Amino acid sequence: MALDKSIKSIKSIKSVTFDAFVRQSTSVSSEIVAHIETLISSGSLAPGTKLPAERELAQVLKVSRASLREAMHELEAKRVVERRPGRGTIVLEAPAHVRTVYEEMPESERTLRDVAELRETIEPKFAQLAAERATKAGLYALERVLETTARDDLTQEESLKADITFHMLLAQASQNPLMVALNSLANSWTESVRAFSHGTDEARRSSHLGHQLIFTAVRSGNGAAARDAMLAHLADVTHLTKNNLPSF
């Protein structure tokens, strides 16, 4: 099973085009961190996945082992991965006690309105902390997602996936693993309803604009502005959802 996961992780990494991967404005190790965090946030690397051995991963990513080692130190410090003697590097799962919150909650209690209120409670704090704590790698990963959502030909499915990835990366940038776990739960609860806010070209442009304003505040290090930008973005999402789902 571990071998299968390792092979899958190699395939997902190999499927990415690396022509523009290394940018002079960002260190190579930061590029690596951003890339792996994006793969994890988008679901391409699932919790429990074993990453390829250092030598093999460095060859796949076309980077030096020194840069890869530096990136792995940062990912481990952020509790994104764990290096286990004799087992290699593993993508960490959400803390068990946080996952239990979802598993033990009756489905009837997981109403869409409750989830929306949850997002409005926790995500502005993610944005504020991200503005205060984001690393160069975190900012670069967020910027890469925004480059994707700026496309005019983005489909609903692509826009939704990018939306979830953006918010996951923002939670990662908060440097709080418990908040990352909570955001993962919120994503699992809200994916179906979030699709309604990506159903039209106008809605997708609105989502991109909201993310761009959040990113601008995060990049500037302005926590209050990032928090307010997230609140405004979530208000827009709620408005779009109500227009497409009256029972919300």
Average pLDDT, the chain: 80
Q: What is the pLDDT of residue 148?
A: 93
What pLDDT was estimated at residue 100? 55
**pTM > 0.95:** no
Give the range with max mean pLDDT: 20-29, 79-88, 90-99.
79-88
Give helix 65-77 / helix 54-61 axis angle, nearest 10°.
Answer: 110
Whole-number Å distance between alpha carbons of 180 and 155 = 27
Arithmetic mean of pLDDT, 73-91: 85
pLDDT bin (cut points 50, 70, 90) of residue 139 is: very high
Rounded CA separation 180/92 (Å): 11
Cα(28)–Cα(66) distance, rounded to whole angstroms? 10
Alpha helices in the chain (DSSP H): 2-14, 28-41, 54-61, 65-77, 96-104, 112-133, 136-149, 156-173, 177-194, 201-220, 223-244
**Which pLDDT tens digit goes with each residue over 214-224?**
999 999 999 99
What integer is the mean pLDDT of 32-48? 84
